[in-house]
């Protein structure tokens, strides 16, 4: 009994690999792997479905073959088939009776074929699949009419992929039978109109319309939809129907890379959590709502539906109270817009806001006191704006107890609230690069009492791990600037003339990433930085590689734009084995001392970034691509080189060649005549 029970289990545990030698017309080409009830026959150059497979298979993978027609009898042998995948063949049609005995087929993948040719017959075939739930018709050059024909009566379908086709206009007819549809992918078509297209699909939850040509989405009222992706279209207006009493189920709305001028008019009640609006031209117009300053300004815009008189849409333009329900928003991505300020109470409404991404906008001030960010705020990115002022009182800062990431780089800040960073108890990453904020000289801060300060004191920010202070015009880092900190990342690049003293020695145990590019530092001792993995010392006019680098376990080293002429072979051997990436371009390397280069080339684990761009200078200061330079042009000792000989010989050779040519040209006629004469003389031998 135990033996009897064990056998089937063993069979199931050990994948059974059967290499089937086919009986059909292309014996040596068709090969299938059989794993339990799945037959894997992809990449087999098959022109038809193999017929010798076990009768009870449930899944058949035939991707990347050459099947042009799925013939009537081709899957007759496999009545239990549930999943059939024929992606990336050159399938033109499925004959109408192909599926007459395939009661169980649930999933059919026909992606990347030529079904536009035989769509009519294929549509008859599909109608015979009563249990079809998932259908992939992506990339089949289907137009509106072909798609509508193929989808007729597929009332059991739950998942449909029509991406990468030629759909232009959808209307009520397009998907009218798909009552069970839950997910629809329509991205990468050329759609410019959706006229009530999804009215019949009352169960639709995920809709992808990305990469089309839609100019607007008006009167949005698909309350059951959970994910709507309309990114990469030409959308100027997104307006949801305001008089719907139900709560919209919408959780994710992606409107990025469009042409929105206004913040979208969101549903009045929803569960919207992720709102992606990057790369539009959104700004807020609350200042225009005041009708005393602009008495004659239009306040509403109306959209008339030319077909049905029931759906005229009126939008109140300047009233930012109409943004709809943003109370559940957790991620708000507004990168690359034109926001100058937030309307009153806007931030406060988002009581679950966790990430605010505002990179590349036009904010000038940020008043944390009046905005009242939620305590759940985790990431605040206001980099690349026009910030000149940040205002915050003690209470509003203490409330931000979850704030972990703050990016204020690329602004015009010269002052900050004194306690800004020391009050944020979860702060791990701060980027203040490319502003004008200095590091405080300790004595001065002790006596400072006013609320803003032109410098930042990092001493008490114990949770901090990553600090980016590039291009901040810092001249001196005070000795005790980083005492007590456990930084893993420190970026000080682009502070030319920076004096570091011993200030960062205290970080030697924790520091993994150190940026000192373009700081003009010279003799720095790295030997204590045992955790360092990334070091940037580019642009520092270094004449040779700091030998202290050899003792640490670096992975990435940027040595670009220095004055290195070579790397001695001992150092090269050590570095080649440790480093994963090294940057070396922009150094005046000596073409005749390139042993290090060959070492780096030979070791496969090191990536010499931009290797073909590394240049070297030969003895007469001509630059060459190091990769192509022929070292035989240098002598062994690096003293006199073959090069000199070539240099000496070249004019002489040229001289002789020149003379020869002149002589040749001058005497050519004569010589010609002579030779002719000779020939004539010879030939006249009668
Ligand atoms: C398709 O559905 C329509 C009704 O919606 C029905 O009249 C027709 O017979 C069906 N066609 C097939 C082939 O099932
Ligand atoms: C639809 O098909 C395209 C192309 O074959 C694919 O990239 C995409 O991921 C599919 N969509 C879904 C939701 O699976
Ligand atoms: C929307 O679709 C685009 C294109 O497929 C994709 O890159 C993007 O990640 C999608 N957005 C969301 C929120 O999934
Ligand atoms: C919008 O929702 C609020 C409650 O969330 C409700 O008081 C208001 O009447 C709704 N507005 C419309 C136009 O339905
Ligand atoms: C919403 O509710 C209001 C009052 O309860 C009702 O007058 C209105 O007709 C409802 N709107 C819809 C679209 O159901
Ligand atoms: C200005 O708006 C208020 C309400 O918002 C309205 O009562 C008033 O009539 C408007 N005045 C003008 C000149 O439009
Ligand atoms: C506003 O419109 C009224 C009537 O249309 C006109 O008399 C007035 O001059 C306009 N005011 C401005 C500031 O354009
Ligand atoms: C929509 O606007 C048109 C044009 O002004 C008008 O004829 C129609 O009655 C309006 N429909 C509704 C429902 O307001
Ligand atoms: C910041 O907001 C607070 C509270 O609304 C206000 O009292 C303060 O004047 C504002 N500060 C600035 C500089 O706007
Ligand atoms: C901070 O984050 C934690 C974990 O993500 C969460 O449990 C907590 O509620 C958040 N605090 C606030 C004030 O939202
Ligand atoms: C801060 O933002 C800038 C510009 O958007 C970006 O380049 C930089 O990587 C960000 N810093 C960090 C630490 O993520
Ligand atoms: C090193 O720093 C320089 C100067 O800021 C910068 O241009 C370069 O991209 C950095 N190197 C790497 C690998 O990031």
Minimal-distance CA residue to ligand 2 atom 13: 185
Partnered with residue 275 across adjacent β-strands are 253, 332
| Mean pLDDT, residues 509-524 taken together | 93
**Which ligand has the minimum distance to the alpha carbon of residue 85?**
2
The secondary structure of 74-119 as a DSSP string is TTTT-TT--EEE-TTS---EE-TTTTTT-TT--EEE--SS-TTTSH
- Between the CA of 268 and the centroid of ligand 5 the distance, in Å, is 13
**Residue 26 pLDDT greater than 50, yes or no:** no
C-alpha span between 15 and 623 (Å, rounded): 60
pLDDT in tens, 370-392: 999 999 999 999 999 999 999 99
Q: Percent of the chain having pLDDT more than 90?
A: 64
- Between the CA of 421 and the centroid of ligand 11 the distance, in Å, is 18
Q: Which residue has the higher pLDDT, 634 or 243?
A: 243
- Between the CA of 232 and the centroid of ligand 10 the distance, in Å, is 34
**Which ligand has the minimum distance to the alpha carbon of residue 113?**
2
**Which ligand has the minimum distance to the alpha carbon of residue 223?**
5
SS3 category, 13: helix
- Residues with Cβ within 8 Å of 165's Cβ and at least 6 positions away in sequence, in order, are 137, 138, 139, 140, 141, 142, 143, 147, 189
Q: Which residue has the higher pLDDT, 314 or 131?
A: 131
Mean pLDDT is highest, among 339-343, 449-453, 628-632, for 339-343
pLDDT in tens, 605-662: 999 999 999 999 887 778 888 888 776 667 654 445 555 556 666 667 677 777 777 7
SS3 category, 226: coil
**Residue 685 pLDDT greater than 50, yes or no:** no
| Mean pLDDT, residues 489-515 taken together | 93
- Between the CA of 469 and the centroid of ligand 11 the distance, in Å, is 11
pLDDT in tens, 592-607: 888 899 999 999 999 9
Minimal-distance CA residue to ligand 2 atom 1: 161
β-strands 38-40, 33-35 pairing: antiparallel
Confidence label for 218 from pLDDT (cuts 50, 70 and 90) = confident
pLDDT, residue 497, reads 92
Residue 295 CA: which ligand 6 atom is closest? 13
Confidence label for 557 from pLDDT (cuts 50, 70 and 90) = very high
**Which ligand has the minimum distance to the alpha carbon of residue 316?**
6
Mean pLDDT is highest, among 157-166, 211-220, 285-294, 627-636, for 157-166
Confidence label for 433 from pLDDT (cuts 50, 70 and 90) = very high
The secondary structure of 386-437 as a DSSP string is ---EEE--HHHHHH-TT--EEE--SS----EETTTTTT-TT--EEE--SS--
**CB-defined site of ligand 3, < 6 Å:** 187, 208, 210, 229, 231, 252, 254, 276
pLDDT, residue 676, reads 42
Residue 245 CA: which ligand 4 atom is closest? 14
**Residue 105 pLDDT greater than 80, yes or no:** yes
**Which ligand has the minimum distance to the alpha carbon of residue 240?**
4
Confidence label for 312 from pLDDT (cuts 50, 70 and 90) = low
C-alpha span between 250 and 379 (Å, rounded): 23
Q: Would you say the CB of residue 409 lies under 6 angstroms from ligand 11?
A: yes
pLDDT in tens, 82-104: 999 999 999 999 999 999 999 99
Residue 245 CA: which ligand 5 atom is closest? 1
Residue 429 CA: which ligand 11 atom is closest? 13
Residue 359 CA: which ligand 11 atom is closest? 5
Top mutation candidate among 218, 243, 310, 312 for ligand 8, by most atoms within 8 Å of CB: 312
- Between the CA of 376 and the centroid of ligand 10 the distance, in Å, is 5
**Which ligand has the minimum distance to the alpha carbon of residue 211?**
3
pLDDT, residue 623, reads 85
Confidence label for 23 from pLDDT (cuts 50, 70 and 90) = very low
**Residue 450 pLDDT greater than 90, yes or no:** no
C-alpha span between 625 and 395 (Å, rounded): 60
**Which ligand has the minimum distance to the alpha carbon of residue 393?**
9
β-strands 355-357, 365-367 pairing: unpaired
| Mean pLDDT, residues 428-436 taken together | 96
- Between the CA of 12 and the centroid of ligand 3 the distance, in Å, is 39
Q: Would you say the CB of residue 111 lies under 6 angstroms from ligand 2?
A: yes
Q: Angle at the Cα of 648 (from 647 to 649), degrees rounded to 5?
A: 95
Q: Would you say the CB of residue 310 lies under 6 angstroms from ligand 5?
A: no
Confidence label for 672 from pLDDT (cuts 50, 70 and 90) = very low
SS3 category, 532: coil
Partnered with residue 292 across adjacent β-strands are none
**Residue 22 pLDDT greater than 60, yes or no:** no
**Residue 436 pLDDT greater than 70, yes or no:** yes
- Between the CA of 366 and the centroid of ligand 9 the distance, in Å, is 10
Domains of the chain and any CATH numbers: 474-563 (3.80.10.10), 567-631 (no CATH)
Minimal-distance CA residue to ligand 6 atom 2: 291
β-strands 216-220, 581-583 pairing: unpaired
pLDDT, residue 10, reads 38
Q: Would you say the CB of residue 296 lies under 6 angstroms from ligand 7?
A: yes
pLDDT, residue 7, reads 43
| Mean pLDDT, residues 429-457 taken together | 78
Minimal-distance CA residue to ligand 1 atom 13: 127
| Mean pLDDT, residues 190-212 taken together | 94
**CB-defined site of ligand 10, < 6 Å:** 375-376, 401-402
| Mean pLDDT, residues 189-201 taken together | 92
**Residue 136 pLDDT greater than 70, yes or no:** yes
**Residue 12 pLDDT greater than 50, yes or no:** no
- Between the CA of 245 and the centroid of ligand 5 the distance, in Å, is 6
Minimal-distance CA residue to ligand 7 atom 2: 296
| Mean pLDDT, residues 178-191 taken together | 97
**Which ligand has the minimum distance to the alpha carbon of residue 403?**
10
**CB-defined site of ligand 12, < 6 Å:** 470, 493-494, 515, 517-518, 536, 538-539, 558, 583
Minimal-distance CA residue to ligand 12 atom 13: 558
Give pTM, 2 decimals: 0.84
Q: Angle at the Cα of 459 (from 457 to 464), degrees rounded to 5?
A: 100
**CB-defined site of ligand 6, < 6 Å:** 291, 295
C-alpha span between 326 and 348 (Å, rounded): 10
Top mutation candidate among 123, 124, 148, 153 for ligand 1, by most atoms within 8 Å of CB: 153
Minimal-distance CA residue to ligand 1 atom 11: 153
Confidence label for 195 from pLDDT (cuts 50, 70 and 90) = confident
pLDDT, residue 642, reads 55
133-147, 167-181, 607-621: segment of lowest average pLDDT: 607-621
Q: Angle at the Cα of 624 (from 623 to 630), degrees rounded to 5?
A: 135
**Residue 8 pLDDT greater than 80, yes or no:** no
Q: Percent of the chain having pLDDT more than 70?
A: 82
**Residue 227 pLDDT greater than 70, yes or no:** yes
| Mean pLDDT, residues 333-340 taken together | 97
Confidence label for 317 from pLDDT (cuts 50, 70 and 90) = low
Minimal-distance CA residue to ligand 10 atom 6: 376
Mean pLDDT, the chain, integer:
86
């Amino acid at each position: 009994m135990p033996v009897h029970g064990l056998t089937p289990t063993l069979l199931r545990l050990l994948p059974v690999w059967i290499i089937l030698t086919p009986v059909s017309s292309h014996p040596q080409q068709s090969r299938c792997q059989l794993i339990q009830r799945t037959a894997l026959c992809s990449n087999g150059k098959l022109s038809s479905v193999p017929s010798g497979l076990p009768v009870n298979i449930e899944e058949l993978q035939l991707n990347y073959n050459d099947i042009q027609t799925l013939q009537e009898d081709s899957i007759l042998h496999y009545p239990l088939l549930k999943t059939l995948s024929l992606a990336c063949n050159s399938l033109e049609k499925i004959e109408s009776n192909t599926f007459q005995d395939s009661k169980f087929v649930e999933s059919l993948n026909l992606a990347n074929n030529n079904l536009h040719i035989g769509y009519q017959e294929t549509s008859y075939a599909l109608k015979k699949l009563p249990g079809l739930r998932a259908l992939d018709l992506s990339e089949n050059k289907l137009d509106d009419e072909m798609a509508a024909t193929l989808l007729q009566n597929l009332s059991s379908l739950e998942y449909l992929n029509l991406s990468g086709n030629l759909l232009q206009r959808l209307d009520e007819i397009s998907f009218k039978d798909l009552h069970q549809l839950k997910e629809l992918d329509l991205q990468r078509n050329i759609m410019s109109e959706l006229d009530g297209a999804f009215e019949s699909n009352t169960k639709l939850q995920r809709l992808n319309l990305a990469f089309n040509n839609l100019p607007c989405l008006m009167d949005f009222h698909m309350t059951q939809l959970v994910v709507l992706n309309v990114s990469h279209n030409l959308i100027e207006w997104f307006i949801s129907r305001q008089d719907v009493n139900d709560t919209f189920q919408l959780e994710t709305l992606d409107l990025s890379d469009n042409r929105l001028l206004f913040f979208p008019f969101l549903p009045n009640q929803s569960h919207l959590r992720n709102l992606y609006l990057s790369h539009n031209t959104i700004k807020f117009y609350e200042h225009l709502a005041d009708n005393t300053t602009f008495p004659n300004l239009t306040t509403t815009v109306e959209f008339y539906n030319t077909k049905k008189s029931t759906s005229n849409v009126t939008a109140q333009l300047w009233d930012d109270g109409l943004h709809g329900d943003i109370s559940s928003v957790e991620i708000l991505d507004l990168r690359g817009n034109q926001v100058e300020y937030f309307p009153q109470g806007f931030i406060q409404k988002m009581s679950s806001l966790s990430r605010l991404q505002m990179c590349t906008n036009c904010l000038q001030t940020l008043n944390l006191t009046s905005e009242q960010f939620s305590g759940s705020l985790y990431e605040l990115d206001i980099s690349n704006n026009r910030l000149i002022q940040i205002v915050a009182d003690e209470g509003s800062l203490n409330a931000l107890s979850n704030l972990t990431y703050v990016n204020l780089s690329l602004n015009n800040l010269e002052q900050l609230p004194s306690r800004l960073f020391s009050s944020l108890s979860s702060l791990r990453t701060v980027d203040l690069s490319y502003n004008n904020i200095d590091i405080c000289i300790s004595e001065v801060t002790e006596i400072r009492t006013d609320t803003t300060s032109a410098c930042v004191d990092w001493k008490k920010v114990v949770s901090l791990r990553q600090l980016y202070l590039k291009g901040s015009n810092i001249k001196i880092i005070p000795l005790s600037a980083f005492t007590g900190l456990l930084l893993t990342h420190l970026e000080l690049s682009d502070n030319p003339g920076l004096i570091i003293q011993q200030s960062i020695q205290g970080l030697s145990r924790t520091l993994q990433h150190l940026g000192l590019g373009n700081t003009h530092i010279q003799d720095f001792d790295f030997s204590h930085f045992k955790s360092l993995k990334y070091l940037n010392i580019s642009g520092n006019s270094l004449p040779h590689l700091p030998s202290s680098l050899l003792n640490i376990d670096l992975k990435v080293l940027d040595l670009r734009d220095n004055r290195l002429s070579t790397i001695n072979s001992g150092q090269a051997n050590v570095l080649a084995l440790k480093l994963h990436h090294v940057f070396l371009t922009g150094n005046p390397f000596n073409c005749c001392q390139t042993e290090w280069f060959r070492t780096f080339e030979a070791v496969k684990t090191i990536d010499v970034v931009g290797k073909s761009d590394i240049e070297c200078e030969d003895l007469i200061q001509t630059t060459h691509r190091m990769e192509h330079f022929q070292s035989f042009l240098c002598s062994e000792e690096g003293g006199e080189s073959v090069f000199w000989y070539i240099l000496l010989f070249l004019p002489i050779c040229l001289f002789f060649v020149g003379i020869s040519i002149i002589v040749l040209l001058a005497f050519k006629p004569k010589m010609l005549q002579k030779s002719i004469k000779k020939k004539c003389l010879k030939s006249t031998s009668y």
